[in-house]
Every structure is written in C-alpha cells, then in structure tokens.
Amino acid sequence: QVQLQESGPGLVKPSETLSLTCTVSGGSISSYYWSWIRQSPGRGLEWLGYMYYSGSTNYNPSLKSRVIISVDTSKNQFSLHLRSVTAADTAVYYCAREGVPNEYFDYWGQGTLVTVSS
Amino acid sequence: DIQMTQSPSSLSASVGDRVTITCRASQSISSYLNWYQQKPGKAPKVLIYAASSLQSGVPSRFSGSGSGTVFTLTIRSLQPEDFATYYCQHSYNTPYTFGRGTKLEIK
C-alpha cells in the first residue's frame, strides 16, 4: 500500500522560504507524477505543481517563480520550496501522486499545516 | 485558468436520500473531471475519475456523468459515512483547478 507523509516546519516567518518533504513508502517514486496541493479557507484547494521522477516539472503560474519542486529518488522523497512567503501562504499542504498527467490524484499524504507568521 | 463552479455549496439530506451535485467548467474539458470526498482533518479521496469511472474500492452508490462543461456526481441511497465535503477537479490541462466544494450535511 502506497503511503505519503509530509514533513517540515509548521511555522515560517514572512519573506522566508517554506520547505516541505514528502516521503513515499510502499512503492517507488519512479514512473509517477508527484504533486503539491494546498488548502486554505480563502483559496480552497490549489494545485501548486508537479514533478516527474526524472526531474521535469510543471508549476502553477499563479505562484510565478516562487516555487521549486525537487526529487531525491535515492530516498524516495520529493520536496517543495516556496520562497518569499506571506500570510496568504498559510495553508494545509498535501503531497499527492498522479499516475500520468491529466489523470487524477490517487494517493495523498495526510497534510501538514504551515502557518506564516512572525 | 479553467474555473470550476460547484452547486450547491451546501446540501442537507437524510440517510437513504439520493443527492446530486453539479460542477460546471468555464470551458470544455472533455471528460477530464474528477470527484473527491473529504472528511474533516483528512485528505481528499478520489471517488470518480474521467467523469464517470468509479475508483476501485468506492461503493457503487456513487456515480458520475457529464462531458464538456457540465458534470454531476450522484449518491444513491445516502449512508451515514457519506456526510462530507465533495470537490470536483479538472485535469484537462495545467494548472489543475478545483471547485469550492459542496458540504453534505445530515438533515
């Protein structure tokens, strides 16, 4: 059974970088697309971007150049880095798997709350 | 970006009822439409993908239909565990976007 688990700081200061890691267990990170999705009362569910295990990426233009998703296949992990955060980036962050692009998210992490505050 | 509009935003129903939730896309998305169920404190769980395909393990009382810009999720004979929030999501192109959700409450 594939499982995803997010980890990282729950509190980030404004203007700093939010960094989260998703560890995949019960299956290989290879041959799938790995996304970050966040949820907040104000924005609802928002797809941030995905990475293929080979390293190719596709980001939501709304985040402009603030987001980077990277993968470490040796650890079966992928990571989210969101620069220059503001209070509007406060949300529950989920990692999720998509079999192929333009499909659906079949596995999700449990989510982790990140609060942006000084 | 493609906008996804769900209706209603909330719905009260009783165990045993049949309910229908509608999702409209701002442009044609063919059948690239997925439905998720979310319970408080949990991640969304896919119920229906490609507009009408039932995800493995999901009870057959859930069904989806539609193509182009209008889609529906129908729950036949509501069970107590079905009271949750439901979201549609398009996967036609990126950025993927979600509807704002329909909260299904017990009457």
Over residues B42-84, the pLDDT tens digits come to 999 999 999 999 999 999 999 999 999 999 999 999 999 999 9
Mutate to test the interface with B, among A2, A63, A105, A112 (most CBs of B within 10 A): A105
* Largest separation between any pair of C-alpha atoms in chain A: 40
Mutate to test the interface with A, among B94, B97, B100, B102 (most CBs of A within 10 A): B94
> CA neighbours within 13 Å on the CB side: how many for A85?
21
The pLDDT, as a whole number, for residue A71 is 92
List B57's β-bridge partners, or say none.
none
Interchain CB distance below 8 Å, A47 and B95: yes
DSSP secondary structure letter of residue A21: E
Number of residues in chain B: 107
Mean pLDDT within A66-91: 96
**Taking Cα atoms as reference points, which of B56, B38, B51, B58 lies closest to residue B91?**
B51
Asked whether the beta carbons of B99 and B6 are under 8 A apart, the reply is yes
> Does the beta carbon of A5 lie under 8 angstroms from any beta carbon of chain B?
no
- Is residue A94 scored above 80 in pLDDT? yes
Mean pLDDT within A48-70: 92
Q: B8-30 burial, b for 16+ CB within 10 Å, e for fewer?
A: eeebebeeeeebebbbbbeeebe
**Taking Cα atoms as reference points, which of A92, A84, A87, A90 lies closest to residue A67?**
A84
Q: Which residue has the tokens 């906008």?
A: B3
